[in-house]
Amino acid sequence: MFVMNSIEQRLEAMNITLPAASDPAAKYANYVIVNGLMFVSGKGPRGNPKGKLGVDYTTEEGYEFARQTGIEVLAVLKSALGTLDKVKRAVKVQGFVNADPDFEEHHKVLNGFSDLFMEVFEERGSHARSVFGAVSVRDNLPIIVDSIFEVVE
């Protein structure tokens, strides 16, 4: 049986190539590390898709946007830490879904992010989370996620 030696090897086996970490959209830090906790600023999917869930996009499309957002967060983690193996565990995930007021599947959208982190980090990817419907978000993105991780400094 082949045993994965690193998170990067697991990503390679999953056919996931991390992009360079995206820059912040305004005047703030991509992340801050305090006392072994890494706070990653809100990230959205690459390509700047625009629109609302329940109007412009389906729940399934939102799931994929949330998964893409997870890849963005992984890129920030790797850029900051040098290796994803320094992530001890995911702690908290908070999603803001740009949605029509009648949309009710915010939790299913954010599962795209959560599922990715469970696949990549296994039990260390399990996290507390909350998800909110938003009337509007930055750049009219369909989802923005901010997150907190315990890391080896």
Rounded-to-5 percentages of helix, strand, coil across the chain: 35, 25, 35
pLDDT for position 119: 96
CA distances for 111 relative to 6, 98, 119, angstroms: 24, 15, 12
What pLDDT band is residue 64 in, cutting at 50, 70 and 90?
very high
Residue in this structure with the two tokens 């830490």, named with its chain if needed? 81
Residue in this structure with the two tokens 């991780």, named with its chain if needed? 149
Q: Which amino acid is at 137?
A: V
pTM summary value: 0.94
Is the per-residue pLDDT at 103 higher than 70? Answer: yes
Q: Which amino acid is at 102?
A: D
114: closest CA among 87, 139, 79, 145? 145
What pLDDT band is residue 153 in, cutting at 50, 70 and 90?
confident
Is the per-residue pLDDT at 46 higher than 70? Answer: yes
pLDDT for position 1: 38
Domain extents in the chain: 7-151
Those residues with Cβ within 8 angstroms of residue 2's Cβ, 6 or more apart along the chain or in another chain: none
- Region 63-68: mean pLDDT is 98
Residues 114 and 120: their CA atoms lie apart, in Å, by 10
Residues 18 and 32: their CA atoms lie apart, in Å, by 20
What pLDDT band is residue 2 in, cutting at 50, 70 and 90?
very low
Tokens of 67: 């998964």
Sheet of 128-134: strand order equals 31-34, 37-43, 143-151, 87-98, 128-134
Q: What is the pLDDT of residues 114-147, one digit of tens each?
A: 999 999 999 999 999 999 999 999 999 999 999 9
Is the per-residue pLDDT at 3 higher than 60? Answer: no
CATH code of 7-151, in short, is: 3.30.1330.40
pLDDT for position 42: 96
Tokens of 104: 């009710």
pLDDT for position 5: 64
